Structure 1
Amino acid sequence: MIFVPLSFVAALLLVILLVAALRARETSGGNTAFLVLVALCAVQSVVVGLRWGYHVEAARYVQPILAAGLPPLVLFSFRTLLQRDDTQGGATRWLHALPPLVMTAIVLFAPAFIDAALVVLFVGYAIAVLHLGRSGPDALVEARLDSAVAAHRALIIAAVALCLSALFDLGVLLAFEKWQGENAAVIASNANLLGLFFIGLTAFVASRAHPSTPTQTNPPEPSPSEQDREVLDQVQRLLIDQKLYRDDNLTLSRLARRAGVPARQISGAINRLAGKNVSQYINDVRISEACRLLRDTDMSVTSAMLDAGFQTKSNFNREFRRVTTLSPASWREQNRRRAANAA
């Protein structure tokens, strides 16, 4: 029987995700950085399978170098969903290219420190990724609003996956220290199956947030409640009067451009006056329109979903239940029953 390492199975699943993301990119766009991240996870899975499944000697030198490039790419990918002002790092941004170079030197001259260096690298970047999402979904101003919450959740899971990979690297290190590498293959395979697959999966989810073209905006100054009300009124006019909620690719950045107000000022006004993040606020407007369509017309649930500005049934159903506590079909049936009883 042909032996197939678990890491090859993970690689196959990641390739399927990559193909699905590339197909979606043709119609709705996508984030290249996240696609590269999924591809790197797939390649890394194959290399791990070659090293630990088939004991290919050359793979032991390639694997840690590829692994060192993974955390910086995770950080860079999620930074593309931030406002452009927050992604400009000047000369310091090139420092993130150093980990693979440093790891190459470690592989060549100090291989005993490979696993320890990977543990430090993965944990350090996990903390940096979590720091990006400290302000919640509204921090991802370049993410499509109906996917901002999912992208933020993916960010958290990606950081946890980096920590999980660091934990398994520590396990490999201990396996060599205490058991002469006896269990290293099993630990490494499991690490690949869980850590890399979760990173690739979250990259796939975040790539579908479809960031728009980055734009330059100025940082806002603290605004009193009157200015908050003016900003919120302006946003409502755009959403209701101009039906901007129907734009299924609407992002906070795009909304800010249309309103002529900095993205952070819009986010702050909605947070303070509505007690919600921007994604929830926009989706509330969309759900309100979907309810009107379901109540007053005979169009299908899917047509109402698309007309209200949602792209996927999963997001629509989740947000509909958040607002109404019912599924769209149940809500329509209940309201029609009430109308019939009233008549």
Structure 2
Amino acid sequence: MIFIPLPFVVALLLLILLAAVLRSQESSKGNRAFLALVGLCALQSVAVGLRWGYDIAELRYLLPVLASCLPPLVLASFRSLIHLDDSEGGSARWLHAAPPVGILVLLLLAPELIDAALILLFIGYASAVLNLGRTGPDALDEARFDRAIAAHRALVIAAASLCLSAFFDFAVHMDFEWSKGSNVAFMVSNANLLGLLLIGLTAVVAARAQALPAAASNMTQVSSTVTQDREVLDRINRLLVDQKLSHDENLTLSRLARRAGVPARQISGAVNRLARKNVSQYINDFRIAEACQLLRETDMSVTAAMFEAGFQTKSNFNREFRRVTSLSPASWRERNRRPAIT
């Protein structure tokens, strides 16, 4: 019987997910980091399978280098969901190439320090990833509103997965210390791959939150004061009503800010203070209200109403509809359908 290591199964699943994303994605440069992340997870899974499933010892030099590339790529992927000026972090981006270079140096000079270096690397980048989303879904201002909440959850899970990988690296190190590595093959081929699979899955979820690129426009600088919150919210509402901006399935906080001529942080603050919710919920509440009107007053199907209101997937639409109304779209229509005039 042909032996197929579990890491190969994980790699195959990740490649299928990668192919599905590539097939369904519009051409957006912002997705490249996420796609590269899924590809790296698949490559690392194959390397783990060859190393511990077929005992190819030479791969012990490659595996720590691949592992050191993972945390910086996770951070870069989720940073692509945040609007940054060109001047922000320009030179600092090159610093994220330091981890694999550092691991290569340790391989040559002090291989006994590699495990500790990887553990610190994973925990440090997990903290940096969590810091990106510290203000909630509104922090991901380049994520589409209908998927911003899912993208933020993916960010938290990805950070937890990095910590999980650090834990298993520590467990592997201790196994070498206590039992000369007798359990390493099992631990690496099974438990450690959970972290890779979770990171790959969260990358797919977050990649689908990436909006299509839009033409740049000038933003009018508006000072952020509490007294202007109502004016900001009124301006947003006019865009949603008069220009049907909520129908744009690629709408993000960054794009909304450019159209309104108001800084994204000021929009987020105004919505938080006046509506007591984040911007993603505010926009989706507006979309659900429009969907409810269509379901009550027309014979439009639920799917057609979903698309008309600005949603693109039934799962997101049904989740947000239940959050707002506590009912499914079909049940809500049955209870609230306007009677026909005879």
- Superposed, 1:1-343 pairs within 5 Å as 1-26=1-26, 31-85=31-85, 88-213=88-213, 221-225=223-227, 227-336=228-337, 339-340=338-339
Could you tell which deviates more after superposition, 182-191 or 129-138?
A: 182-191
Shift of 1:211: 3.4
- Counterparts of 2:96 and 2:28, CA distance in 1: 30
Tell me the alpha carbon deviations over residues 22-45 of structure 1, each in whole angstroms, 9 at most, x when there is no partner. 011147886111000000000000
Shift of 1:320: 0.1
Shift of 1:212: 4.4
RMSD: 2.0
Could you tell which deviates more after superposition, 26-35 or 138-147?
A: 26-35
- Counterparts of 1:218 and 1:35, CA distance in 2: 34
Q: Contact between 1:284 and 1:323, CA under 8 Å: does it hold in 2?
A: yes
Report how many aligned residue pairs link the two structures.
340
Shift of 1:259: 0.6
Q: Contact between 2:82 and 2:141, CA under 8 Å: does it hold in 1?
A: yes
Could you tell which deviates more after superposition, 303-312 or 29-38?
A: 29-38
- Counterparts of 1:161 and 1:218, CA distance in 2: 40
Q: Which amino acid aligns with 1:324?
A: T
- Counterparts of 1:114 and 1:94, CA distance in 2: 21
Shift of 1:90: 3.1
Q: Contact between 1:80 and 1:87, CA under 8 Å: does it hold in 2?
A: no
Find the residue that maps to 1:249 and give its secondary structure.
coil
- Counterparts of 2:4 and 2:321, CA distance in 1: 43
* CA 1:48–1:220: 2 relative to 1, 3 Å: farther
Find the residue that maps to 2:57 and give its secondary structure.
coil
* CA 1:218–1:50: 2 relative to 1, 3 Å: farther
Q: Contact between 2:28 and 2:213, CA under 8 Å: does it hold in 1?
A: no
* CA 1:111–1:318: 2 relative to 1, 3 Å: same
* CA 1:221–1:85: 2 relative to 1, 3 Å: farther
Find the residue that maps to 2:312 and give its secondary structure.
coil
4+ residue runs of structure 1 moved beyond 4 angstroms?
27-30, 214-221, 339-343
Q: Which amino acid aligns with 2:183?
A: N
Find the residue that maps to 1:273 and give its secondary structure.
helix
Q: Contact between 1:157 and 1:198, CA under 8 Å: does it hold in 2?
A: yes
TM-score by length of 1: 0.94
- Counterparts of 2:87 and 2:154, CA distance in 1: 19
Tell me the alpha carbon deviations over residues 275-295 of structure 1, each in whole angstroms, 9 at most, x when there is no partner. 110000000010000001111
Q: Contact between 1:45 and 1:192, CA under 8 Å: does it hold in 2?
A: no
* CA 1:217–1:170: 2 relative to 1, 3 Å: farther
Find the residue that maps to 1:85 and give its secondary structure.
coil
- Counterparts of 2:7 and 2:122, CA distance in 1: 19
- Counterparts of 1:312 and 1:86, CA distance in 2: 33
Q: Which amino acid aligns with 1:38?
A: V
- Counterparts of 2:121 and 2:3, CA distance in 1: 32
- Counterparts of 1:6 and 1:87, CA distance in 2: 44
- Counterparts of 2:97 and 2:61, CA distance in 1: 18
- Counterparts of 1:252 and 1:261, CA distance in 2: 11
- Counterparts of 2:2 and 2:192, CA distance in 1: 20
